Chain A
């Protein structure tokens, strides 16, 4: 990626665009082996559907207090006022709950989509939105395979709302609000490596309870939030058509073609122009 970007800038500079200042790109992991993203393991088998995390989330992020739990529809979507929701599904094993929020992909499509670096993958793991950079183009929403970024369509100064894994709490050494307050231990906060070994442990210790699949291990190239479930994930309304490779990779081929065309085309065009010009001149004489 780095080489490509440099080339891209060089070419733009040569062609008179005067783009010389570039900054380090943090869309993808930088390749250093010691980076450990943090995330949360959500265990559907433990969640009792108390919706407490929804209230904690609203409280921690200054969002409107959600309606009383008894008035909540069984299946809802996250919205510009709700960064997380807990949904209830009638499955082959009875009632199962599932919490929805940003998955915090390892290589987020939204970050690759953002042309102002407003969407940002932090070294700690959370994908955060920075309002002072965002121009409100909503390309992150178009690109996100999980449909997570939400836009305040009814505001003259609209924000993108999405879970940021309580990044400000993380910086002070606290856990995300939902994980810190879950009364049923359904949310396990830790490094991605810890989440995976914990998840494997639970599956091995209780093979009858869980389906042998860790959602988020490979989805979209791996995510920081991961899910355990007693039923196939399709029954929980989870997107099961998500590709296992990273989404930014889908545009890689095109972006790699850019410097090539930038170098080859002008030369080729100039050549053709010169060739046809001479033809005409000799033809006229």
Chain B
């Protein structure tokens, strides 16, 4: 572990510069399987993005006049933000409920959430036809305050700031900035409270975006409760992501994680699985109530009805039972499988509302082009690159330096 912290040990500027220059150099092997796959995809994606700004959105997407929002909104933004929900749930557990057990995974989850928002909001810019006007709802001359999208846009922006503040002590520890570290650590609780409030509103807000598309969404997925469904499902979507991401980081960044935290990992996963099972039960029950209330029994015996049943039984009810069963049996492997099934279910649900069930009756169905998939992968891969860069430099998975512990 690095011993000297440049901003505090040497203030003549030279060593800070040298420190940063060294840090920006790549660390580790260049030809890993991930790099070999991701680099060509990212290069292709960048070419496609250039074409998109040169020729228009229609040049690389299959969007239609009836389905103006496709994969980039339905998957990148709506699904991606649900998966980023782990950050607000975990900060709630650790900072508000003071569940110390989960403290060791807060940082990596917040980093994940922050990067997810930065990149998925960034992906939103690709989807804007006139992105140079994106400042209009922010600078104050054109507030469309009764738009749900206005609320969501502001919340994205504010929540990114809140998450940056939550994560900032790690940056200060990396730079060895002790005094700033103390100030930033003191802001954590405020940022957490603000962040949870914002998350509640925009996780549900993403669902509320579709409230006005009343006749366009298949009745099995449209109800006035979409916002509540989106909020509740973001809890287990986020936690499943935490379980999944933890499984991978514990393999890939094995060396960085202390013995103690390695041993704590299974206990954390078991605890999260219990929460997932509980929230999924609530969610399933809510869906059931809405279904019974809306009386769409006749629609069940249609292709879309089977699709609905598959989502509800195969990707909500089944993983819920799996979570519960494997928690009782202390089976961590099964929990990981349940987490993956849950994540697939969340993808399915969000796409069913935003893409598959949206204008299900249109004469020409929207099917994303391969180029839309490549751009989506580009966004995800670039995010993982940045994630890895940060993990390798800042104390995210590894323990904080000893001087920083007093501030927490």
Contact = CB atoms under 8 A, between A and B. Distances in A.
Contacts of B136: 116, 133, 135
B224 A253 contact: yes
Contact of A135 (B54, B92, B134, B148): B134
B131 interface: yes
Given A5-B146, A276-B97, A142 B209 contact: yes
Contact of B68 (A1, A79, A138, A239): A138
A258 B210 contact: no
Given A114-B144, A136-B128, A251-B148, A158 B57 contact: yes
Contacts of A258: 151, 201
Contacts of B209: 139, 142
Contacts of B143: 19, 21-23, 117
Interface string A1-26: 10001001100100111010111010
Interface in B29-67: 53-59, 61, 63, 65-66
B65 A251 contact: no
A157 B130 contact: yes
Summarize A's interface: helix, strand, loop or mixed. loop
Contact of A261 (B57, B100, B150, B201): B201
Contact of B145 (A25, A142, A154, A277): A25
B56 A153 contact: yes
B391 interface: no
Contacts of B54: 156
Contact of A250 (B92, B147, B149, B211): B211
B95 interface: yes
Given A156-B56, A254-B148, A255-B148, A137 B128 contact: yes
A145 interface: yes
Contact of A147 (B66, B128, B154): B66
Interface string A76-97: 0101100000000000000000
B96 interface: yes
A192 interface: no
B212 A255 contact: no
24 contacts: A22-B143, A77-B65, A80-B65, A113-B149, A117-B143, A117-B144, A135-B129, A136-B133, A137-B149, A141-B68, A142-B213, A145-B215, A147-B66, A154-B55, A154-B58, A154-B59, A239-B215, A247-B212, A250-B211, A254-B227, A269-B92, A273-B189, A276-B96, A280-B98
Closest 3 CB pairs of A and B: A136-B129, A153-B58, A136-B130
